[in-house]
Each structure stands twice: as C-alpha cells, then as structure tokens.
Amino acid sequence: MPESFEVKADPELWSSLDMDVARFGNVPPMLTEAYRNIFLRQGNRPAAMAYFDDMVRNIFSGRIREMVDAKKAGRPVIGTFCVYVPEEVIHAADGVCVGLCGGSQGSIADAEAILPRNICPMVKSAFGFKVGRICPFFQVVDMVYGETTCDAKKKTWELLEEYVPTHVMEIPQMKRERDKKLWLEEVKDFKSAIEKITGKEVGAEGLKGSIEVLNAKRRALQRLNALRHHDPSPISGRDMLLIQQIAFYDIPERFTSRVNDLCDELERRIATGTFVAPGGTPRIMVSGTPMALPNWKLHNIVENAGAVVVNEESCIGTRYYKDTIDPDGSSLDAMLERLTERYMKIDCSCFTPNDERIDQVIRECRESGAQGIIDYCLQFCHTYNIEAVKLRRACEREGIPFLAIETDYATEDVGQLQTRVEAFLEQIQG
C-alpha cells in the first residue's frame, strides 16, 4: 500500500555530515508524499520496482551510510554533474561516483542569495543544496567534478570551489580531430586528479575491469529501454525515469543486477500480455535537458493525461547509456583513447555543429514507436532552447508532431502545461 511507504530520516547521520538538520528534516515527509502520489498509486507496476522503491526509501539514510562506510575504508566519494564524467576512471581508482545535479525547487532560494536569478534551475538547485547544507550527498563527497558544457556551470564551479574541492574538466565545443586531442588530455588530467585524491594508480588491468562493469550497466539500461518500446509498454515512463535517475546514485554492479531482474520480469509480462496501459495509448518521447531527481513533473503530467512516455533522449536517458567502450586496448593509453571516443559520441547541445543529435532524436523516435516528441527545456538553457528550432524543423520534415516546453522546478505552471500537453495529445490522436 502507498501509505506504508516512507522515506527514512537519519538525523544522527545528517548531523555527522554538518547538515542543517532542522531544515532538512522537512524533506523526507515531502518526498514521501510526492512519491506515493506519483509512483505508488500507479496501477499494475512490475514487482521488481520494489527494489527501486527501496532505493528511494533509503536515499537519505542507508545509501548515505554506504558512502560513509566507503570513506572509512579509504574509498573517496566523487560528486559529478554531467554524463561526460569518465566514471570508469573513478571506478578503476576504487572511488565512489555519485550524481549531484539538483532537481528540486527547495534549494534555489539559497543559491539566489549568491547567484543571479536568471540562470539554469539545475545549476541553482545544486549550488543551493551545498551552500544551504541541505543535501547529504553533497555533504558526503570529498571532491566534485565540474565541466564546461555551459557558461552558468563553468562560472558557478569557481564559487563552488570555496565550499568543496572542485575539479573542472574542459569539454571542447566542437568534435574535430584537434578537439579529440584536447579532450584526451583533459581525461588524462582527470585521471591524475582522481589518483591524487584516492591514492591509487589507475592501471590498464583495473581500467579494463571498470570499463566492463560500466559497459554492463549501460547494456542493462539499453535492454530495459528496448523492452519499454514494446507496444503496449510493459512499464510506465515514470518508473523508467526513476530507474534512470537512480543509475547515478546506486552501486553500479548492484544496479545492473537489479535492472536485469526487472528486464526478465518485463519479458514475462510481454509474453503474457501484461501492460501498464492498453493498446492505442498515445506514445510520447521526451527530448532535451536532463531531469535530475526528484524532477518528475513532465512525466507525471503526460501520463496523468492518458499517454505513456516511451523514450528519453537526454542526459538522464539514452545519452547516458547508448554507447559502450571496447575494453580490449593494447595499453592504458589505448584504452583512454577509446574511452574518450565513447564520451565524444554524447550529443550535448553545447556542441556546434550538432546535427548528430538531431539525427539521433529522429532515429530514437522511430525506434521507440513514439507518435510525438515533447522537447523539454529548463529555463535559461540557451543551447537546448535554440537547438529546439532545428529539431522542430526536422520533425516537420519527418511528419512527427512536436511540442516545445520551457519550464523550471516550480509548480505554478503545472496547469498551463497540462493544458498544452492535453492539446498535443488530441493533435496526435486526430
């Protein structure tokens, strides 16, 4: 029953991390209520979703204790903000990698006391969590990894350095051969930074093993995404979004095992005709900016309106796991080069030109069986907002219904978005 679900509190643990315990104590009850309403009141959920429910139940307690225990065992915790982070390097150095992107409105006021108001909500949310001391993940990390994918981020990292050690990795804005060389040098510098904080050298054998671990994680997500493309879908878009968000918080090996367990169940559901929505339900693909935990706003609106989300082309979706790395390098340098090539295939809107992303969106729309695309953009994310112009044109050429939405984490525009989404679904259904 939804009423039995509760996000656990651990004030003693939070106090040990120098958090604002009195203030953060309000977060678990709010998250509990939201989770019950958005996820647990869905009908016909797969049984294997119980693991991911449990992850949310322990997101501020048990998972944090695992990280504290890892630190005590000499395994530093590295926070990240972008899918360009070379996770394999952190894993190979026996570090713990955790995502820190902010997806909540609650910390933005803390950030706006320092940062300008008219910048990306995700940047403000993350920065606010740290300066307000209201995120256990931010409080447990030993170092954070930042990157230069947008101006708001790269300038915010300068200020974040005042609160926590911050390593910034330069991401080239083009994908020429000269840019690949620059990127490879940045990966090598990142490797040196990780080795320094972990005290462990990343060798060829260790990196190969870590590449295989992360490859397995991405293949599990590829398998899961392919299964959800079945028409009718055996899993809701909301649940899939949650799983993709948890991918940035969980232990990779454990996460991979649980995702494959879920895939086994979904295959049985497809074989027995057990689906989350009947045939003929409108199928929507979401593209655009990432949706950091607990940002479930758009998926909740779309699926409450009677549709099902069947794909996410975003950093929280296929951009994160569509590509793997060949681990059979002849040397450490060869593996680092192949690793860099894999990360260069991620089509962030920071790149110019970026026609590969437009082609990828259209391809994923076709493969997923989506009947329309909703392009989701956070306010003040200029690169994605401008790139939506080219994406709209491509959809018009391909005859794909397209809706562009610009929003933030607040709830004031929910009614307006509901109206627009409902009208879009009527357009799709004719």
Report the domain count for the chain: 1
Cα distance between residue 387 and residue 372, in whole Å:
18
Contact by Cβ (8 Å): 283, 310:
yes
Contact by Cβ (8 Å): 344, 183:
yes
- Give the 3-state secondary structure percentages of the chain, helix then strand then coil, rounded to 5: 55, 10, 35
Contact by Cβ (8 Å): 312, 121:
no
**Secondary structure (DSSP) of 308-355:** EEEEEESTTTHHHHS-------SSHHHHHHHHHHHHHT---TTSSS-H
DSSP 105: G
Cα distance between residue 93 and residue 201, in whole Å:
6
Cα distance between residue 128 and residue 24, in whole Å:
13
* Residues in Cβ contact with 246 at an 8 Å cutoff, skipping those fewer than 6 apart: 52, 55, 56, 255, 293
**Torsion angle of alpha carbons 221, 384, 170, 330, nearest 10°?**
30
What is the model's pLDDT at position 390? 98
Cα distance between residue 297 and residue 409, in whole Å:
8
Contact by Cβ (8 Å): 292, 269:
no
Structure tokens at 216: 């397995």
What is the domain range of residue 91? 2-429
Residue with tokens 């051969």: 177
Residues in a beta bridge with 284: 309, 372
* Strand ranges (E), 229-274: none
What is the model's pLDDT at position 313? 98
pLDDT along the chain (430 residues), means of 10: 91 98 97 98 97 98 98 97 95 97 96 96 97 98 95 97 96 95 97 96 96 98 98 98 98 98 98 96 98 97 98 98 91 95 96 97 98 98 97 98 97 97 95
What is the model's pLDDT at position 59? 98
Predicted TM-score (pTM) of the model is 0.97
Cα distance between residue 230 and residue 202, in whole Å:
41
